[in-house]
Chain A
């Protein structure tokens, strides 16, 4: 394996992430996780973040972000003309739950932000 020593370096990083922090991220990402999974994720993420810390030393002052590699020459626009459209029945057939011609979910108690 490449650079295999970084794993052992990561091991003392117990405090890198707290379990509650991992749970908060899991909630934000809407991922139900068991306590065992949280613990596993905490260890894995801590090791990965430890490895990623290497970027701290790179001087990026005055450097712009690369959002798109090898950026394209011209703006690409779509003409305002109707194109591929899905029949309602076909779209609804794929839904886990549909009712009254609409996609349906459990009654929403919260509000859209």
Chain B
């Protein structure tokens, strides 16, 4: 973008709440299963069906509000938003309009070392629409799957606080991370449980008025968000520079053609005719529900990283890696939880962090908010502790870890069973050293005459004799003393 214009970007994110059943229907909220297998009278908008609010969905929405610093409204209103479309079973979507559940809030982002606060307008609760199926049945028909219809969503509406696609991406990543750590959303952009629309406009630098905006849809990856926004900013600029006017419209990112394309507008203008849903009394959040939400809200990633750095002395990098997924962060914390006390925990943090990154991480698999680890936190802590106390060498620790992966069990038991414990006892080491020196008088003499490189030979001999169990540091000291002739 030339310096003459600046971009103004606001994002609307739809995030599915991780409930067992739908927002208003007791059918299960599993939208990737066989089409039309999780439907009930309410899902399909059958005559006579009525919405009944899922308490878990509301609790999760309140948790999202708390996590994002919103003002949680003690009374909010469900409203009907009307339009006719086959993905909308009732001819209206139950959403919130002028009185949403969460008002305000913010997400802090960092781009190129600069911190910035993106403020939120609101977070409201609504039901998801059904899904058009592609590639099934007759090509002359559109096919509809109602599994997704009625799944609880929160829509997080930011203010137009972002000025670049980098900021937009950073915002999305932070938001996704917070929602995942709060346990309200699994952050899956590909399957569409976390979806983003972007409102983009440009204006002359320094101008206070907003330009005409376009709404970008179908940006279901972080990469697409960047590309679509950058494309759109450039497109709007060229429209204006060539004397044209930006048209307010909805545009879709076309990944194949690498451009945004105007979506076919409806036959006539929308008039959503919002009004309070007469089937649903005002949504009242009482102190009990608010307290449940507060208690259920785990430590959020930013706070977690700050604590890890200040209390455990982790580096920015380590803290970042270990908080990349809530399951990983939880595993790290659970591992440290096996320490006897706070001091031991602080001592163990870095070695555990290192071990996680060097060995464990490559074997971790993620599914939504859950993560599968090859070892238990208890085993990992035990393994790292053995190394820290000198009972196990780092080298043999790899062998123990391989054994843990293959057959499980406890590191201590493996060390005992396989006789892998490190020899740190100086007397025991000295006996071995003396044996070796006695058997190699010529090499001892050569060493003492200055061939200091022979030390490696003696170390190798001791390691061979002890099957690698000699504590390298203790061995070095004992060997040095013996070669110096103190006790030879």
Report A's interface with B, CB cutoff 8 A.
Answer: 24, 27-28, 30, 65, 67-68, 71-72, 74-86, 88, 91-92, 97, 99-113
Contacts and interface: CB of A to CB of B under 8 A. Distances in A.
Secondary structure type dominating chain A contacts: loop
A27 B55 contact: no
Most buried by A among B54, B57, B143, B250: B143
Contact of B20 (A24, A30, A81, A109): A81
Contacts of A76: 52-53, 281
B114 interface: no
Secondary structure type dominating chain B contacts: loop
Contacts of A28: 268, 271, 273
Nearest to A97: B141
A71 to B, nearest CB: 6
Contacts of A108: 85-86, 132, 142
A107 B38 contact: no
A33 B286 CA distance: 48
B394 interface: no
Nearest to B27: A85
A88 B142 CA distance: 18
Given A76-B281, A85-B26, A107 B137 contact: no
B20 A101 contact: no
Contact of A113 (B85, B138, B286): B85
Nearest to A83: B26
B55 A78 contact: yes
B276 A67 contact: yes
26 contacts: A28-B268, A65-B276, A74-B284, A75-B286, A78-B26, A78-B54, A80-B57, A82-B21, A85-B39, A86-B27, A86-B39, A91-B44, A99-B136, A99-B141, A101-B36, A102-B143, A103-B36, A103-B146, A104-B138, A104-B143, A104-B144, A108-B132, A110-B85, A111-B252, A112-B88, A113-B83
Nearest to B49: A84
A80 B55 contact: yes
Given A80-B19, A83-B21, A102 B144 contact: yes
B424 to A, nearest CB: 56
B129 interface: yes
Interface string B9-32: 000000000011100001110000
A110 B267 contact: yes
Interface in B255-289: 263-268, 270-271, 273, 276, 278, 281-284, 286
